[in-house]
């Protein structure tokens, strides 16, 4: 009986403390929004030459386009935060891919969901945050073929969920404020089968 009463009392205390812990968690949780530009680079993996040498061969990539992100982070140490970031990138199109008498274009896009560790350095001037992490990378390539003959270009289409890595450097004021505006320079790498996608990003970010 005493054990039951003790367990009941502990449960009441835990339930009473849970809202306070949740409130404290959300008070310390920060986030950001970003919008800017992403430029992709594609590298074909492990191409063997006639002499037996293995090299990494680049293939044409689109010119790049809009990049947007949203993220959240929570303090875990004096100068370290941990969080999640979600990014979406419209990478543009490769037009007039010709094979014989047929032509096609590919609209490329990418999505990344990464767990990130954020370091807040001292003594690096306007560098306010350096973030690195890993997670999911989705590579998309929508094929458009004029006049049929889509099977001739099927190898150009992409719909892959693979491992992704990311890193960002944010330049902004370090003084606390309700909203801080900065410049974020970053990169995303997706290990797509038979090739590597590398995105270079530049975004205006709003930390709140």
Is residue 64 a part of any domain in this protein?
A: yes
**Whole-model pTM over 0.85:** no
Is residue 6 a part of any domain in this protein?
A: no
Q: Looking at residue 37, which CATH number applies to its domain?
A: 2.40.160.20
Q: Which domain range does residue 105 map to?
A: 30-207
- Taking residues 63-84, report their average pLDDT: 95
Number of structural domains (the chain) is: 1
Dump the DSSP string for the chain: -HHHHHHHHHHHHHHHHHHHHHHHHHHH-EEEEEEEEEEEEEEEEEEE-TTS-EEEEEE-----EEEEEEEEEEEEETTEEEEEEEEEEEEEEEEEEEETTEEEEEEEEEEEEEEEEEE--SSSTTEEEEEEEEEEEEEEEEEEEETS-GGGGGGG-EEEEEEEEEEEEEE---S--SSEEEEEEEEEEE--TTEEEEEEEEEEEEE-
pLDDT in tens, 19-62: 545 557 667 789 999 999 999 998 876 555 566 665 555 667 88
pLDDT in tens, 149-167: 556 667 777 899 999 999 9
């Amino acid at each position: 009986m005493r054990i039951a009463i003790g367990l009941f009392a502990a449960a009441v205390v835990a339930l009473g403390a849970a809202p306070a812990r949740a409130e404290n968690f959300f008070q310390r949780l920060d986030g950001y929004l970003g919008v800017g530009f992403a430029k992709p680079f594609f590298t074909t993996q492990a191409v063997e030459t006639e002499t037996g040498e293995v090299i990494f061969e680049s293939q044409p990539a689109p010119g790049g386009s809009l990049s947007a992100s949203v993220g959240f982070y929570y303090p875990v140490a004096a100068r370290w935060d941990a969080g999640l970031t979600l990014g979406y990138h419209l990478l543009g199109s490769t037009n007039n891919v010709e094979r014989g008498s047929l032509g096609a274009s590919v609209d490329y896009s990418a999505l990344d969901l990464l767990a990130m560790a954020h370091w807040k350095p001292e003594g690096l001037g306007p560098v306010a945050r350096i973030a690195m992490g890993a997670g999911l990378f989705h590579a998309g390539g929508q094929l458009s073929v004029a006049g049929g003959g889509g099977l001739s270009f099927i190898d150009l289409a992409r719909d892959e969920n693979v491992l992704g890595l990311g890193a960002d450097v944010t330049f902004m004021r370090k003084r606390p404020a309700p909203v801080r505006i900065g410049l974020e320079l970053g990169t995303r790498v997706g290990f797509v089968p038979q090739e590597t996608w590398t995105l270079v990003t530049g975004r205006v970010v709003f930390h709140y």
